[in-house]
Amino acid sequence: MNWQEVLSENGYRVSEPRRLVMQLLENSSQPLTPLQIYSALLQSGNTLGMVSVYRALELLTELCLVCLVYNSDGSPGYVLGMGGHHHHILCQSCHKAASFAGSEDLSALIEKVEADTNYRVKDHLLQLYGICPACQEKQSVRQEGN
Ligand SMILES: [Zn+2]
Ligand SMILES: [Zn+2]
């Protein structure tokens, strides 16, 4: 199911703001902040208000079509979502985002946290940082040059 179908299946129109935001995120491998989305749309000649950008992002996040992630400096950004339970990994060097399927491999940790805190764990937010293949390549080329 593509994102247009997800929207209409949930009773939403493929409005101009939603289409523009989705298109932009589809073409970006790095997370974009609402301000970056707003500026990029403005540069390509679309006069979409900041409020429309926020509203579109809010709905698209709710429908899991986009995901909120955090850059290694803590700044939030949006990337395309992937169906089902999944997590994101971000490159610390170029900020490129990738996603991976979430599995139940956190269950040992969750059990320990529940035992330690007496909380019942209901949900989690997991995101990893690392160095992407392209940046690893760049780094090894640099090292060989020394
Ligand atoms: Zn990278
Ligand atoms: Zn998970």
Distances (CA, A) of 1 to 6, 13, 65: 7, 15, 11
| Ligand 1 centroid to residue 121 C-alpha, Å | 33
Ligand nearest to the CA of 137: 1
In the chain the first and final C-alpha atoms are separated, in Å, by: 49
Strands 86-91 and 127-130: parallel
Q: What is the tally of structural domains in the chain?
A: 1
Which letter, b or e, does each residue of 38-60 get, where b requires 16 or more Cβ atoms within 10 Å of its Cβ? bebbeeeeeebeeebbeebbebb
Q: What angle do CA 34, 38, 43 make, to 5 degrees?
A: 150
Confidence of residue 146 (pLDDT cuts 50, 70, 90): low
Taking a 5 Å cut-off on Cβ, the residues next to ion ligand 1 are 91, 93-94, 96, 132, 135
pLDDT greater at residue 20 or residue 102:
20
Residue range of the domain that includes 33? 3-145
Q: Is the pLDDT of residue 73 over 90?
A: no
Rounded to the nearest angstrom, the distance between the alpha carbon of 72 and the centre of ligand 1 is 12
Ligand nearest to the CA of 87: 2
Query: What percentage of the chain carries pLDDT values higher than 90?
Result: 73
What's the confidence (pLDDT) of residue 141? 81
- Per-residue pLDDT band for 145 (boundaries 50, 70, 90) equals low
- In tens, the pLDDT along 79-95 reads 998 877 889 999 999 99
Taking the CA of 121 as reference, the closest ligand is: 2
Rounded CA separation 102/65 (Å): 16
Instruction: Give the pLDDT confidence of 17-29 residue by residue, as tens digits.
Output: 999 999 999 999 9
CA of 60 to the centre of ligand 1 (A): 26
In this predicted structure, what is the pLDDT of residue 106?
A: 86
Task: Please give the pLDDT value at position 1.
Answer: 81
Helices 34-43 & 16-26 angle (0-180, nearest 10): 100
Ligand nearest to the CA of residue 86, numbered in listed order: 2
Ligand index nearest the alpha carbon of residue 105? 2
Side-by-side strand order, sheet with 97-101: 97-101, 86-91, 127-130
Rounded to an integer, the average pLDDT of 28-38 is 94
Q: Domain of 137: which CATH number?
A: 1.10.10.10
